[in-house]
Amino acid sequence: MTSPRTTSPSYRVWALPGLPEVRPGDDIAKLIAATEPGLVDGDVLLVTSKIVSKAERRLVEAGDREEAIDAETVRVVARRGALRIVENRQGLVMAAAGVDASNTPAGTVLLLPEDPDASAVRIRDGLRDTLGVEVGVVITDTFGRPWRTGLTDVAIGAAGVRVLDDLRGGVDAHGNPLSATVVATADELAAAGDLVKGKAAGLPVAVVRGLPHVVAEPTEAAVGARALVRTAADDMFRLGTSEAVREAVTQRRTVRAFTDEPVDPGAVRRAVAAAVTAPAPHHTTPWRFVLLESEESRTRLLDAMRDAWIADLRRDGKSEDSIAKRVRRGDVLRNAPYLAVPCMVMDGSHHYGDERRDTAEREMFVVATGAGVQNFLVALAGERLGSAWVSSTMFCRDVVREALDLPANWDPMGAVAIGHAAEPPRERAARDAGAFIEVR
């Protein structure tokens, strides 16, 4: 897209009268042309998706609306009671997958067009062939929006329209550089059309005139409304609250290969803040996290641990070849750009003078520390960081305390390798939760 955003002194928008009830198999372009709409080059038509769906035979039988929503849903984004915000087959994130049960015969629902961009192309081409005009076409549907009450129309399909106006690299009226401004032109057009269209009035098509700069030249590469949908990598609000928690828990994986991309220390500290919300006995705080942010500290620790491990393996009678292989398998910590060593302290613990109760007391603190480590790992996943918890520091606690200059009462409880995953995680074998449950 090369056209700068042009400010017009005025434009007109009106609903197109005279359209008949749309039937399955109808040609929308021919129906519009038959109303003698007086279109000129540079006009933009805003077409309600419902009539496109009807023409494209998207009226389907369904036992109930929920069944149809299930069939059209790719991913549940958020759920509250009966309301579901989902990603549908068209890649749109919206309520109820866009399934419409209003103004349809009993036992049927209306689905969105299979490919709204392709629908817009067909209407545009049909109007060019029938009326000889170069117009833009936007297929619209009604959306709710995060943080805003009320509904408005947005573009779900487009042809011949500059759907986005990228102002980055320009300057504002005061000469300040624009570094993040990308305007959703197609959505602005859709909202303007919604002011004059109306379901009850039977006015499903509107025309905007006076904004020729938003209509793409025939030679421009086709860009549809799909360009308005954020990619997963750019979507900071991809999930609802409870869904985000479940996603972080279920999608967390042990990552053993990391890229060279540096780790944001702030992200690790936010994960620590999540870790220390874990439950603990006697209102204590048994967690300590040693963050190894310098290469020197990581190397000092890992070299000391390696030497201790080799000494243990030699005492066990392992061959030098076997020792070398085992040490190489432990390189997940050495290859990570960031390490954290969670430690347990038992400040505030009770001493009973009874082995059974003292053992149980320590176990309570161990469980609480484990809960903190799990919180930490899940929070790292929420920060889009990979991690691997490795238990090796528990086998040489004195060595770790000396290498990191830790107090004698800090018990290292493994180490966590942290970084950006070098490859997608492997699929985890499905586990039936019922196999781990006993009900009494």
166-219: per-residue pLDDT in tens? 777 776 777 777 766 788 999 999 999 999 997 657 899 999 999 998 998 877
207 CB neighbour count, 10 Å cutoff: 21
286 versus 78: the higher-pLDDT residue is 286
* 421-430: Cβ within 8 A, 24+ apart: 421/255, 421/257, 421/258, 421/259, 421/386, 422/255, 422/257, 422/258, 422/259, 423/257, 425/251, 425/253, 425/255, 425/386, 426/253, 428/253
Supply the mean pLDDT for the chain.
Answer: 89
Residue 42 confidence (pLDDT)? 95
Q: What is the pLDDT of residues 307-316, one digit of tens each?
A: 988 888 899 8
Q: For the ranges 30-39, 159-168, 363-372, which has the lowest average pLDDT? A: 159-168
92 versus 169: the higher-pLDDT residue is 92
Average pLDDT over residues 217-244: 81
428 contact partners, CB below 8 Å, separation of at least 6? 253
Which residue type does 312 have?
D
Instruction: Say whether pLDDT at 3 is over 60.
Output: no
Residue 419, classified by CB atoms within 10 Å of its CB into exposed (0-12), middle (13-18) or buried (19+), is buried
How far apart CA 57 and CA 26 sit, in angstroms, is: 9
342 in Cβ contact with 416 (< 8 Å): yes
Instruction: Say whether pLDDT at 225 is over 90.
Output: yes
Residue 180 confidence (pLDDT)? 66
Q: For the ranges 45-49, 55-59, 175-179, 384-388, which has the lowest average pLDDT? A: 175-179
Q: What is the pLDDT of residues 112-142, one digit of tens each?
A: 999 999 999 999 999 999 999 999 999 999 9
Distances (CA, A) of 239 to 218, 290, 316, 379: 38, 31, 50, 15
Average pLDDT over residues 63-90: 88
How far apart CA 110 and CA 24 sit, in angstroms, is: 12
How far apart CA 271 and CA 4 sit, in angstroms, is: 43
How far apart CA 377 and CA 47 sit, in angstroms, is: 48
How far apart CA 258 and CA 281 sit, in angstroms, is: 36
Which residue type does 410 have?
W
Q: Using the 8-state DSSP alphabet, how is residue 215 labeled? A: B
Instruction: Say whether pLDDT at 243 is over 50.
Output: yes
432 contact partners, CB below 8 Å, separation of at least 6? none
Which residue in this structure is represented by tokens 């992200």? 267
Q: What is the pLDDT of residues 330-364, one digit of tens each?
A: 677 888 999 999 999 999 999 999 999 999 999 99
Alpha helices, H only, 39-176: 49-55, 65-72, 116-131
Strands 136-145 and 148-159: antiparallel
Residue 1 confidence (pLDDT)? 40
Residue 72 confidence (pLDDT)? 94
Distances (CA, A) of 303 to 208, 373, 404: 70, 24, 12
155 in Cβ contact with 187 (< 8 Å): yes
* pLDDT above 90 coverage of the chain, percent: 65
Residue 266 confidence (pLDDT)? 95
Q: Which domains are seen in the chain, by residue range?
A: 12-58+112-234 (3.30.1330.100), 241-436 (3.40.109.10)
Instruction: Say whether pLDDT at 425 is over 80.
Output: no
Q: For the ranges 16-20, 101-105, 140-144, 168-172, which has the lowest average pLDDT? A: 168-172
117 contact partners, CB below 8 Å, separation of at least 6? 139, 157, 158, 159, 224, 225, 226
Residue 330 confidence (pLDDT)? 66
How far apart CA 87 and CA 254 sit, in angstroms, is: 28
106 in Cβ contact with 160 (< 8 Å): no
Instruction: Say whether pLDDT at 236 is over 80.
Output: no
Residue 6 confidence (pLDDT)? 55
Alpha helices, H only, 276-420: 295-315, 320-329, 355-382, 397-404
Smallest CA-to-CA distance from 205 within 187, 193, 191, 188 is with 193
Assign 2 a pLDDT band (cuts: 50, 70, 90).
very low
Residue 418 confidence (pLDDT)? 96
Distances (CA, A) of 138 to 77, 131, 133: 26, 18, 16
Distances (CA, A) of 404 to 35, 289, 310, 342, 357: 81, 12, 20, 12, 32
Assign 4 a pLDDT band (cuts: 50, 70, 90).
very low
